[in-house]
Each structure stands twice: as structure tokens, then as C-alpha cells.
Amino acid sequence: MDKRVIVHVDMDAFFASVEQMDNPKLKGKPVIVGGSGPRGVVSTCSYEARKYGIHSAMPMYIARQLCPEGIFLPVRYERYVEVSKIVFQILHSITYRVEAVSIDEAYLDISDIDDDPVHIVNIIKKRVKESTGLTLSAGISYNKFLAKTASEWNKPNGLMVITEDMVPEILKPLPISKVYGIGSKSIERLNQIGIYTIEQLLRLTEEEMIYFFGKYGIEIYNRIRGHDDRPVCTQRETKSIGRETTFDSDTMDKTFLKKVLSEFAEELANSLMEESLYAKTVTVKIKNQDFKTHTKSKTLKRYINSYKEIKEAAFEILDDYNIEQGIRLIGLSLSNFTDVRYEQLSIFEWEKQLKSQKEETNGTKE
């Protein structure tokens, strides 16, 4: 198997950075975003706040003790979602092979893009900076575990590449907490027997790994040796939204049926808009006089969310039906969703764009 090229991107101190962006007075100050109730914990804090020893998941009251002069803000989740969407649009303009891990973190599989991965990542960083004012850290490697390890390497605004010949040497000095998937209980147990670094963890046999981590031990055993076959999963969980109606009497009137589908398309477009979703598959269901249900679907080349696009696809499907026997029920549904729009940029167009950008940058250097 050819080596994959996997990128992990992670926004730097995301919630706190958005707050500093929206209110420039907060720049350079210790900003702590988190729950305001008595049990509230820190969601994210700015790098300035980290100097006081504050970190995510810490109770807010402790953060207040550590940094009384800090700026404590509530979580404005909707605002972060807005910014996140812009970031994901940029990622999807590079490739559709994007796996969202969280609101500010994603894996990209760019194996099929014939360009220097560092160059591609620099374009992502530049575009994100231009469109949101924010920085991210990225890691490039040949699997997910190493890409994630690389993105954490020199935050903020980092970029790190881990190549095959660097493994496992580069991992050896890292504390075992850096291995994604090792929980705090396992870390405690390993510390008790004097294992603190990956170098020490590498000395354990597969059997010992299973003893400490259960079934998951084999995976950790492999990961710290640079083996991790997990694919970048682009698909969101499948679900569908739809509308249908039953008529008082059977109809063969296509103009009327199209009017009904248009109304459904409008309602569904509104639902997509509300949930910030885009759909790829359109299905029209009909029930005949004989009570038989028929469905026909159309999976489009790209994700859509507009009334017009949904309506057009629905009409095309309706045209495929023989409605001469009379229709007693008609339904329209959408499925195969994504939460961000994949800019319809083919790899070819993308490469063209990369080349022209390259020429630009080369030109300015001279």
C-alpha cells in the first residue's frame, strides 16, 4: 500500500482566540472561557492564561485563584460554530476527505493531491488566518496518530512533519500521556511501575500491553511503533429528513404534483438551513392506486442546500415515474448529509490554483 498523507489540524486555543478576535482589547491578556456555574470548568484558555497553570477541564474556581486578574468569559458556542464553519469550508476546498473530530479539529487525507503537503498546509493556514484572523497548528504524517502527535508539537501556529524514518526515535522522549487513547488511570498504573515515557512503553510486550490497556493494548502497541491504519472517515451518521402527503383522490396531474414537491423542497431547504446541513441524496416516494410504495433516489455529484437545487432534482426524479395509474401519496426526502459545503473544486482546478499561487509566491521572492 502506498503511504498515505494525513494532516491533522487543530485551532489554537479556539474559544479564547475567537473572544480575543471579537474583542481586540482582550488580545495579549489571560482569557478564560468556561462554565459560569459553581461547578463550571474551563473550556479553553488563551496562551497568556496557560502561563498561570490554567488548563482545559480545570474547575473555574481554581482558575480564578490562580489568576485573579484573568478575564473570565462564558461559552458563546453559536459564535464558535460560525467560525468553525468557515474553517471547515476552507478544509473542504482542499479535499472532501475531511473528518471533523470536534468543532476545531479535523483530519484530512490528502494522499491523492499531487503537491507538496507542506505547501498545501501552508495554504490552509494562510486562508484560515485571512478569513478568521485565527491560527491553527497542523501535523503531517502517514497516519492519524502521528499526524495528531505532530500537530501538538509546537503549538500555537505550528507545523510539523513526521516521516517514517523519524519513527519511533522522535516519539521516545514523549510522556505516555501524549499517546492518544491512554486514559489517566492507565497512566497512573504505568507510572507506578516506573513507566513515564514512550521509550519505556516500547519495552513492553504485546501481552503486557493487553494486561495494562485491555483489548486496546494492541492498538497502542502498534501506534507507538508508527502503525495506525484508521481511515479518515468523511461520512456523517446517516439520517434523513422528509415530507409527504396523501391525497383525497388519486391524481395524474403532473403540474399539481410538481407544485406539491416544490412546497416540500422549500420546507426541506429551510430545515437544512436551520441545521447548517447540505444533502447529496434526494428521494421521491410515491404510492400508487394499488397501495404499492415506490422510491427513486438521485445522488448528486455535490452537496446542495437550496430550494432550487432540491426542487430540480425532485422534478427530474418525478419525470422518471409513470404516473398514469394515478398517485395517492407523494413524498420527498433528503439524506447523505454533510455539515459543511465542499467547494466544487476538482483536483485539477485545485492544482491549477496551487500552481498560480506558487508562481505568485515565487515571483515575490525574486
Task: Give the strands of the sheet with 42-45, arranged side by side.
Answer: 42-45, 31-34, 71-73
CB 45 within 8 A of CB 55: yes
Distances (CA, A) of 11 to 101, 138, 174, 336: 12, 9, 22, 27
60 Cβ contact list (under 8 Å, min separation 6): 32, 34, 35, 36, 40, 41, 42, 72
Residue closest to 112 by CA, chosen among 88, 94, 129, 127: 94
Compute how many other C-beta atoms are within 10 angstroms of the C-beta atom of residue 171.
23
* 48 vs 104 by CB, closer to Mg ion: 104
Q: How far is the CB of 138 from Mg ion (least distance, A)?
A: 11
CB 253 within 8 A of CB 333: no
Q: How far is the CB of 11 from Mg ion (least distance, A)?
A: 5
Q: How far is the CB of 14 from Mg ion (least distance, A)?
A: 5
Distances (CA, A) of 157 to 11, 126, 166, 293, 314: 8, 11, 22, 55, 45
Residues of this chain that interact with Mg ion (CB under 5 A) are: 10-11, 14, 104
Alpha-helical segments (H) within the chain: 14-22, 47-50, 60-66, 77-94, 117-132, 144-151, 184-192, 198-201, 206-213, 217-223, 254-275, 307-320, 347-365
Task: Give the strands of the sheet with 293-304, arranged side by side.
Answer: 240-251, 327-338, 278-288, 293-304
* 12 vs 309 by CB, closer to Mg ion: 12
Q: How far is the CB of 50 from Mg ion (least distance, A)?
A: 13
* 125 vs 243 by CB, closer to Mg ion: 125
Distances (CA, A) of 216 to 174, 182, 220, 254: 20, 9, 7, 58
Residues annotated as catalytic (active site), given as ranges? 105
CB 234 within 8 A of CB 342: no
* 106 vs 272 by CB, closer to Mg ion: 106
For 123, the grid coordinates are 495554504
> Cell numbers 438551513 label which residue?
273
